[in-house]
Structures are given as structure tokens and as C-alpha cells.
């Protein structure tokens, strides 16, 4: 109700994180309450029903569907091998035989006397859910999975591609405004999470794939480079299932945008630590942002620094997230209550921001985002 709540992305040095690790369908939970698990351990497992292959056996045999059951060599529920005879019809006192063989190995699931269709289901495929982060099992969701708790550094990106992976953090730039170049990426970076500054070019991304890096974390990328890198243009921001050879996390946005100082200094501090990263992004109701998680030893845990999301206040550091001045940082100096007329003549709630240069801007509140810390 008219709140001036402007959430930013979460960037926490120390936080107690709970992760739900759930199967896509019911199965078996492999861990117990209180178990300490490592990121790579399997916490729950199930079998996805195999693919179903229908074929119209009645048509193939040249019989009416109602006659199909007596032609079936294999019955419903039986296992069948590839190329094994499934059904056979004979005519002319057994002189002519007509046979239909299975195209896949699996189980004969259904024989329809109405349509003449026979369904063979392939073997189930195992699906495993791993812990993804080191932590303790604090809740068991029967037949579905677990909730893990861990103390960690937690950094959200704005956009990413590629799914869950792990690797050691290596910072390849000196400053958050610096560009991650292809030349700086070398073969020893295989399996690592490479941190750049303001920008990673297409050449840098390709080099990272070439050396086998696990991931790249960078302030900005170019939209056209992304099209080239993915091989298609992204219509809506629903990602995570891409198989491009690495997981990419963009922390600020499209274009050359310096990585937020706090994010960069945290990642620099964590250089050499093992990180769990996930590029999955869903910008819809129930938004999902990409994340970087570095588990911290429990004893390192400090009192939370109060980085919970809060309402916007004078003195807050904000980033401008729309042109003009996209990517610039400033301090909120005023939060006028009444609606103001913008240059576009739209009316909106605004705030006044003072940039580092001393320039004062009046901007729609919706076009800024709080930078924690």
C-alpha cells in the first residue's frame, strides 16, 4: 500500500541459509535429520517413468483392434526386449505370419482393444538430487527431499544462464570496473569459478568454455554477445537448463556495468574458496535469481549484519537501474512523498540521489535499487 519498498539483490557476508532440495516427483530420501552432508552428496533419489512408445499394432498386423489380445505374444506388465516379437497374427491356416517387434526395451504397458494401440514404456531413468551446499539436514520432507541449513556467504546475481555447479573462486581482475579479458583466462582455470569486473566479452566467455571453467561471474555482458554465445535470442528470462559448458552469472545487468563494490570485495575475499553457483533465473511472479553460495565454517559466523531487506531511507546507497545514468551509484538525499512529473511527463514517486560527482538527480523510485552495505 504505497510502500516505497525498493528491494535490491541480496548480498550477505554471513547468513544462515536454508535450501530445499526436492525431487521432481516422489521418491526416496537418502539422508536423516541432523546429518551433515557435503555439496556433492546425493540427498534424495527417484526414478522418472520411462518414455512411452505407442505403436498401432492392430494396423501393423492387419487385424481389427478387438482381435489384438489373442495376437499378443507378450502380455501387459511383461518385460520386452528390443526387436523381440510383441504380437503375431497368422492367416490362411498358419501359412502366412505377420509379426510386430518391439522398437525399444521396456515394459508392455497397455494394449487397447479400441484403437489397436500398444504402449511400451522404457526403463525408468534415475534422478538424483544432490545437496548443492555443505550443510545440515534440518527437515525431512517425506518421499520428496530435505531442507538443508548452512552458514554461508550468499550473493544474488541479476541474471544468469546454466544450472548448478561448483568450483573454486578465482578473481581475474584488479578492480570491479575492469573487464574480464579472454587473455586472462588460462588452462589452469579449468573447473574454477572465474570472477570478472564490469564486463565479459564473447571472446572471454568462449575462452572460459574452452578451458573448462565451471562458471563466470561478471558485472555486465552485452545482449548481442549473449545471442551469439547461446545460439539464439532469449525471449523471456527463464533460464537454468542451458548446456553451454559453463554457468554464467551477471551481477548488475546488460552493458558495461561495474560490479557492485560490496559484491566484488566479498568475492575477492573468498578467492580460493569452493563456491556453489546456479545461473537459474526466472523473472515472473515468484522470481528466482541466480546465486553464489560459499559455505562458511560455523565458528566464523558473526551476528547477522542486518542486511535484511528494508524500506528505502535517506542515506541509502542506490544503483540506478535504467537509462539515463544506468549503472551509476548514488546516495539517497530526499524521498519526496508526492508524485512528481518526470521528463517523459509521466507522473511517479521519485527520489533524489546525489552521485559521487556531486550531481543531484530526481529519478523514479522504481528505477533504483538499494545496494546493501
d(C-alpha 100, C-alpha 79), whole Å: 16
- Residue closer to other proteins, measured from CB, 64 or 314: 64
Among 44, 72, 80, 158, binds other proteins (CB under 8 A): 158
Least Cβ distance, residue 53 to other proteins (angstroms): 5
Closest to 75 measured CA to CA, from 61, 87, 89, 67: 87
Write out the binding residues for other proteins, residues 218-277 only, by CB under 8 A.
222-224, 226, 233-237, 253-255
Q: With respect to other proteins, which residue has the nearer C-beta, 38 or 366?
A: 366
C-alpha cell of residue 277: 553457483
Instruction: Pick the piece of the chain touching other proteins (CB under 8 A) from 92-100, 199-207, 210-218, 362-370.
Output: 362-370
Q: What are 341's three cell numbers? A: 512529473
Q: Which of 4, 90, 91, 115 binds other proteins (CB under 8 A)?
A: 115
The contact mask relative to other proteins for 58-77 (x = CB under 8 A, - = no) is -------x------------
- 112 contributes a contact to other proteins by CB under 8 A: yes
**Which residue number, 34 or 235, has a Cβ lying nearer to other proteins?**
235
Which residues sit opposite 28 in a β-bridge?
45
State which residue, 53 or 206, has the beta carbon closest to other proteins: 53
Q: Are strands 117-122 and 52-56 parallel, antiparallel or unpaired?
A: antiparallel
Residue ranges of the alpha helices (H) in the chain? 57-61, 68-71, 202-211, 223-230, 261-269
Out of 348, 354, 355, 373, the residue judged to bind other proteins by CB under 8 A? 348
What burial letters (b/e) apply to 248-273, b meaning 16+ CB within 10 Å?
Answer: bbbbbbbebbbbbebbbebbeebeee
Report residue 115 CA to chain centroid gap. Answer: 42
How far is CA 24 from each of CA 162, 170, 202, 207, 280, rounded to the nearest angstrom? 18, 33, 34, 34, 16
Among 363, 370, 371, 372, binds other proteins (CB under 8 A): 363
- In whole angstroms, what is the distance from residue 236 CA to residue 101 CA? 44
Which segment (88-96, 203-211, 323-331, 352-360) binds other proteins by CB under 8 A? 323-331
Residue ranges in 278-307 that form contacts with other proteins under rule CB under 8 A: 281, 283-286
Under the rule (CB under 8 A), what is the footprint of other proteins?
Answer: 1, 25, 49, 51-54, 65, 109-110, 112, 114-117, 119, 121, 158-159, 222-224, 226, 233-237, 253-255, 281, 283-286, 321-324, 326, 342-348, 363-364, 366-367, 369
Amino acid at each position: 500500500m504505497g510502500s516505497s519498498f525498493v528491494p535490491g539483490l541480496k548480498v550477505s557476508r554471513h547468513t544462515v541459509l536454508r535450501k530445499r532440495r526436492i525431487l521432481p516427483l516422489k521418491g526416496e530420501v537418502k539422508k536423516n535429520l541432523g546429518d551433515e552432508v557435503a555439496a556433492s552428496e546425493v540427498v534424495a533419489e527417484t526414478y522418472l517413468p520411462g518414455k512411452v512408445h505407442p505403436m498401432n499394432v492392430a494396423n501393423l498386423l492387419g487385424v481389427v483392434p478387438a482381435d489384438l489380445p489373442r495376437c499378443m505374444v507378450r502380455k501387459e506388465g511383461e518385460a520386452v526386449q528390443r526387436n523381440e516379437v510383441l504380437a503375431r497374427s497368422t492367416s490362411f491356416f498358419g501359412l502366412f505370419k505377420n509379426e510386430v517387434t518391439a522398437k525399444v526395451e521396456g515394459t508392455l504397458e497397455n494394449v487397447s482393444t479400441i484403437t489397436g494401440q500398444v504402449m511400451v514404456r522404457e526403463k525408468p531413468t534415475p534422478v538424483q538430487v544432490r545437496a548443492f551446499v555443505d550443510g545440515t539436514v534440518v527437515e525431512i520432507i517425506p518421499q520428496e527431499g530435505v531442507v538443508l541449513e548452512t552458514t554461508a556467504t550468499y550473493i544474488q546475481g541479476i541474471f544468469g544462464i546454466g544450472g548448478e555447479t561448483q568450483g573454486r573462486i578465482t578473481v581475474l581482475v584488479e578492480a570491479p570496473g575492469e573487464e574480464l579479458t579472454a587473455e586472462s583466462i588460462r588452462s589452469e582455470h579449468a573447473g574454477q569459478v572465474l570472477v570478472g569486473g564490469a564486463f565479459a566479452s564473447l571472446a572471454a566467455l568462449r575462452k572460459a568454455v574452452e578451458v573448462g571453467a565451471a562458471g563466470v561471474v561478471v558485472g555486465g555482458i552485452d545482449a548481442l554477445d549473449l545471442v551469439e554465445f547461446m545460439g539464439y535470442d532469449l525471449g523471456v528470462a527463464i533460464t537454468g537448463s542451458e548446456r553451454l559448458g559453463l554457468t554464467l552469472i551477471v551481477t548488475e545487468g546488460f552493458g558495461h556495468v561495474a560490479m557492485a563494490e560490496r559484491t566484488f570485495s566479498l568475492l575477492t575475499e573468498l578467492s580460493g574458496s569452493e563456491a556453489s553457483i546456479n545461473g537459474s533465473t526466472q523473472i515472473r511472479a515468484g522470481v528466482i535469481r541466480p546465486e553464489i553460495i560459499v559455505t562458511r565454517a560455523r565458528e566464523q559466523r558473526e551476528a547477522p549484519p542486518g542486511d535484511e531487506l528494508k524500506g528505502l531511507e535517506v542515506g541509502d546507497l542506490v544503483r540506478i537501474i535504467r537509462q539515463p545514468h544506468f549503472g551509476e551509484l548514488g546516495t539517497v538525499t530526499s524521498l519526496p512523498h508526492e508524485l512528481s512529473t518526470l521528463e517523459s511527463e509521466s507522473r511517479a514517486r521519485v527520489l533524489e540521489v546525489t552521485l559521487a560527482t556531486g550531481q543531484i538527480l530526481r529519478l523514479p523510485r522504481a528505477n533504483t535499487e538499494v545496494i546493501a552495505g
